[in-house]
Chain A
Amino acid sequence: MSALGLAGGVVQPVLIVAGSPLLVGLMRQVRARLEGRAGAGVGQPWRDLRKLLRKERITPRGTSEVFRFAPLVLVATTLVVAVVVPFVATESAVDPAADLFAVVALLALGAVALALAGLDTGTAFGGMGASREMTILALVEPTLLVAIFALSVRVGSTNLSAIVSSTLHDPARVISPVSLLAAVALVVVIVAETGRIPVDNPSTHLELTMVHEAMVLEYAGPDLALVELASAMRLSVFLGLLANLFAPWGIAAEATPLAVLIGVLALVVKVGVLGGLLAAAEVFVAKLRLFRVPELLAGSFLLALLAVAASFFLA
């Protein structure tokens, strides 16, 4: 474990935990301003979390450990991802875990824990949310892995540090059709995985349309705070991953305080810009019917496959 990896491993989780509610706040603010509202301010998600943490812990009758531990698993998986993925520094704190497949599977594990918790409540809402979430997850997985395949074929490795450093050393690679197609595919997939419009509406409580909110309906107090924090962290982690796979510039390549500081600033700016763009796009898009979502995902799958094809068409 190098000094740089260690620095990244310490700075990144702190940054992601502290920053992700702010990212959500920023995105809500952007939406509010574009819709002509004043908005609650960037710090509102943190205030909400503080409020929830002070409330009583409530366990619905008839639920098992699965329900109680799911928020912990959700946060823990995201936290591990935040530690191992090269967000701020090119080297990873735990290199053998910084594998793109492992990271994707870890994030899927968090979603599975939440889906099981939804089923565990035994309500119609929980089951419905879990069923929809798993359907989307099953369709997202192929796209994610094929897009990863496209990105890692030219590097010859699925190790994230290797992919990021290779892009850093050879910036010309970013403007290739492989990157273009894979980026579009990944954007669609990330929108689906983090439950944003047009796949899921994070601010709805209408039973016909909700996916994520339906699963977490029974959570309250500190548990709900963990779930909310984890979903914000997942969003930041996905956006950070997207940013660093295609535009890793600014990331710290040496273990000096200045480099790490620049790395932090670069990550904040990149994720902030991506989040702002996503929020702005959401204003103009309507939510898709649930059964139109597979079309969207099939399209992104095709793009990912085309990215692979392009990597040997135009090699």
Chain B
Amino acid sequence: MNLAATGMAAAVAIGLMTALLAVVRARPAVVGAGTALTGAAAMTAGAAALSGGSFSLVLPGVLPLSGVVLALDPLGGLFVAVTGGVAVAAGIYAMSYVDTEDLRARGVQVALPVFVVAMVLVPAAANVGTLLVCWELMALTSLVLVVAEHRRGPQVASAGRWYAVMTHAGFVSVLIGLMVFVAHARDDSFAALREAGRQLSPVIAGVVFVMTLAGFASKAGIVPLHAWLPRAHPEAPSHVSALMSAAMVNLGVYGLVRVGADLLGGGAAWWWLLVLGLGAVSAVYGILQAALSSDLKRLLGQSTTENMGLVLVGVGAAGLFASSGDHALAALALTAALLHVVGHAAFKTLLFLAAGSVLHATGSRDLDVLGGLRPVMPVTTAAFGLGALAASALPPGTAFVSEWLLLQALIHGLPAGGVGAAIAMPVAVAAVALTAGLAVATFVKAFGVGFLARPRSEAVVGAHESPFTMLAGMGVAALACVVVALWPAAIMPAVRAAAGESAVSGAVTLRLNQVTGALSPLLLTLGLVAAAVVVAGVVRAVAVRRVRREARLWDCGGGPMSARMEYTATSFAEPLQRVFDDVVQPELDVDVSHHQESRYLVQAVEYRRKVPDRIERRLYQPVLDLVTAWGLAGRGLAPGSVHRYLGYGFYSVCGVLILLAVTR
């Protein structure tokens, strides 16, 4: 039994034991610590698998048909390790975050470790049965966690409904796809599927790919299947939001890579052009919605759609290059995508935990009433600032390294493929660039309006810094962010093992293999720090008067300024909203009421803005209407008589039997 197997066994055992303990007596500290330990064990297992210690385990009797088959290869290992890492941070955080009646409820406490165990098992599943069971367990436990705070308002229940329906529709889609696949293979183990995948006819392979893509993309929150994400992620408790947004969505990417690239063995170029297109649209649309949002957690959820979109751009480009035979570039693109998965997990955990800390202290996540958190919550502010820098693809940031790699792959990919690549690459670069620009604006808004400036409401004035374990949870995530940002070479071997081929080498400077390109985030950051120190020293030396004096803000001579004169998140995003007016089509409502004495004097101006999700309205509303109409039509069948209902069953059984008798 090697380290990978021991780690997995420990993760599952600790997780389930924690759940059992929670059944007996649900104490947040114990459950949190157990979850963190589960995560740590999973991280060990993943790291061991990445450094070559794979294992496989067959338990034939546990499930019907082919039983439970577990195996951990480097690709799965990366996702297990990432999930474990997120669970460590979220577990430590949960120890003191869970302090309300709703969150202390037994069911919720039990669901948390089981959710983590299910997420750890998904990338380790090595047959279709195990994968689907773990997938469903993950969906159910996360659903319990999403609706944990259902007493807070009807929006939580609504989010839960959306999530339940979408995740199950996705599950059905994956189920159908994989069943079609299994029908053409010896049995349902991945080894058999891998063998069969090479001989599938293009049509069947295409059907399998598109069906599984729909299911996995809905889990990853890809447009147009993203509708649940900005609902469920904000309404869940923050440590669960972190787990969902930083770990669970990744498994959609995992499924896509596993089925598309591994089991089906690559496939046609149009598959990957589709993936690339979906990724580009999701990235731009997600960040655009986030840029206009003024709900802190909703903004972070929408940014998850954006980041998963970027990952899919990388995966799509990798598939495209592989289908045209350029394996070096394919490895580079896949490396970029997987590195972005890791980086995104780190900074999204940090951001959600920090947002949870704010919610915990102020009771609000509306950016328009926050602000001025710096003096009262210095650590949380620093943590969110670091996360915002990491998320916005600026130099000493986490996303910068992976987006740089992605852009390098896209640039070098232009001469590689034919007409398809020639058209896809510039469009993808433009989409990635627009995403990067909007992400900067979004996170400047989130950090600048939410944490800096002066408080916009009383709730903020009375806020306090969060307890130590919550800060420690954030610290773990912050450390991961810093490592990925400054020394990506530290985790590069892991990503390289998962991506298959080595695309990047070097310890301090990342050098691309096969194509020219080098970047050293560490040197860049050191240079920045050195330059700042030099400048500060020179200014100190040159300046004659060294004492700093505090002074009043410039108020145009109109007396002290009130917080209502500050720019809010809504006003910050207004120019962007105007620029993208045609795309988002916001609903504006301006009411001006005049003074009674004179029409020229304005008494009050009321401004309401709503940015509806256009894709959602166009795509989902007809479906919802149809379902409603169907339900109304079905109402006639339900008069309330129990006999009638039993009769339906009886008639149906008889009908089926008669049909059988006739057709035989």
Among the interface residues B393, B509, B519, B534, which one has the most CB atoms of the partner chain A within 10 A? B519
In the complex formed, the residue of A with least CB distance to B431 is: A142
Structural contact, A119 and B437, CB atoms closer than 8 A: no
Structural contact, A121 and B414, CB atoms closer than 8 A: no
Given A119-B449, A124-B567, is A109 in contact with B395 using a C-beta cutoff of 8 Å? yes
A: contact size bracket = 35 or more
Q: How far is the CA of A54 from the CA of B539 in the complex (A)?
A: 10
In the complex formed, the residue of B with least CB distance to A84 is: B527
A159 in contact (CB, < 8 A) = yes
B200 in contact (CB, < 8 A) = no
Structural contact, B411 and A140, CB atoms closer than 8 A: no
Structural contact, A57 and B572, CB atoms closer than 8 A: no
Structural contact, A123 and B566, CB atoms closer than 8 A: yes
Q: 6 closest Cβ contacts across the A-B interface?
A: A127-B567, A141-B437, A119-B448, A122-B453, A138-B437, A145-B433
Structural contact, A99 and B518, CB atoms closer than 8 A: yes
Q: How far is the CA of A312 from the CA of B425 in the complex (A)?
A: 12
B179 in contact (CB, < 8 A) = no
Structural contact, A131 and B516, CB atoms closer than 8 A: no
Contact partners of B438 in chain A: CB under 8 A: 138
CB-defined interface of A205-249 with B at 8 Å, one 1/0 digit per residue?
000000000000110011001100000000000000000000000
Q: How far is the CA of A69 from the CA of B563 in the complex (A)?
A: 23
Contact partners of A77 in chain B: CB under 8 A: 528, 531
Q: How far is the CA of A142 from the CA of B433 in the complex (A)?
A: 5
Structural contact, B553 and A75, CB atoms closer than 8 A: no
Quote the shortest CB–CB distance from A2 to chain B (angstroms): 15
A46 in contact (CB, < 8 A) = no
Stretch at the interface among A34-42, A89-97, A167-175: A89-97
Quote the shortest CB–CB distance from B404 to chain A (angstroms): 6
Structural contact, A59 and B548, CB atoms closer than 8 A: yes
Structural contact, A226 and B440, CB atoms closer than 8 A: no
Give residues in A with beta carbon < 8 Å to B.
Answer: 53-62, 64, 66, 69, 72-73, 75-77, 79-80, 83-84, 94-97, 99, 101-102, 105-106, 108-109, 112, 115-116, 118-128, 130-132, 134-135, 137-142, 144-146, 149, 152-153, 156-159, 162, 217-218, 221-222, 225-226, 290-291, 294, 301, 305, 308-309, 312
CB-defined interface of B384-414 with A at 8 Å, one 1/0 digit per residue?
0000000011110000100010011011101
Contact partners of B510 in chain A: CB under 8 A: 96
Structural contact, A142 and B437, CB atoms closer than 8 A: yes
In the complex formed, the residue of A with least CB distance to B508 is: A96
Structural contact, A159 and B552, CB atoms closer than 8 A: no
Contact partners of A291 in chain B: CB under 8 A: 575, 578-579
Structural contact, A99 and B572, CB atoms closer than 8 A: no
In the complex formed, the residue of B with least CB distance to A307 is: B426
Contact partners of A156 in chain B: CB under 8 A: 412, 515-516
Structural contact, B523 and A149, CB atoms closer than 8 A: no
Contact partners of B572 in chain A: CB under 8 A: 119, 127, 130-131, 134
Q: How far is the CA of A279 from the CA of B74 in the complex (A)?
A: 58
Structural contact, B579 and A135, CB atoms closer than 8 A: yes
Given A59-B548, A97-B524, A312-B422, is A158 in contact with B444 using a C-beta cutoff of 8 Å? no
Contact partners of B576 in chain A: CB under 8 A: 134-135, 138
Q: Which of B393, B412, B571 contacts A105 (CB 8 A)?
A: B393
Quote the shortest CB–CB distance from A91 to chain B (angstroms): 14
Q: How far is the CA of A102 from the CA of B518 in the complex (A)?
A: 11
Q: How far is the CA of A221 from the CA of B539 in the complex (A)?
A: 11
Q: How far is the CA of A57 from the CA of B545 in the complex (A)?
A: 7
